[in-house]
Amino acid sequence: VLERFPGIKFAAIESGIGWVAWALGAMDEAYHKHHMWALPRLKMLPSEYFRKHGYASFQEDPVGLDLAVKYNLTNNFLWANDYPHHEGSWPHSAEAIEREMGGLPEDARAKILGLNAARLFKFDVDALTRSRRDRLAAANAN
């Protein structure tokens, strides 16, 4: 399906992310062991399809974040808050983000905290940040 529809994206929402690195490794291992019987033949490894087309969201998942950089998954993870539900981190989201993502490189944090979602949902990041800058400048001018 992903080869026939190269623009398609998919996401596992509210699933956490700690399982992703393991699942991709298991799928690649199975494909290496059994590719001769798998039809249709894949042009890439299962993990490569996920990295190109897939996403997974989480709220607080330190294990998954520990694996994000090591397994090249920073382009595939989406932070979520689930406000106003009790399992969300609001009103302590900033503290939760620092606690969970304080050790990540800044570019990885930016992707996970919003840029990946913007790419997935085709948001115009420049327009959104310009609008925010304009509102802040207007508020500061008053």
CATH number for position 80: 3.20.20.140
Q: Is residue 97 part of a domain?
A: yes
Instruction: Kindly provide the b/e burial profile for residues 8-31, where b requires at least 16 CB atoms within 10 angstroms of the residue's own CB.
Output: eeebbeeeebbbbbeebeeeeeee
What value does the mean pLDDT take over residues 29-50? 92
Angle between helix 20-34 and helix 46-53 axes, rounded to 10 deg: 140
User: Which run of H or of E encompasses 78?
Assistant: strand 77-79
The structure tokens listed for 27 are: 């799928």
* Mean pLDDT value across residues 30-55: 93
pLDDT at 130 over 90: no
Which pLDDT does position 84 carry in this prediction?
80
pLDDT for 89: 83
Residue 4 lies in a domain: no
Residue 60 domain flag: yes
Total domains present in the chain: 1
H-helix or E-strand spanning residue 93: helix 93-101
Q: Is pLDDT above 80 for 87? A: no
Percent of the chain at pLDDT exceeding 70: 100
Q: Would the pTM of this model clear 0.95, i.e. be above it? A: no
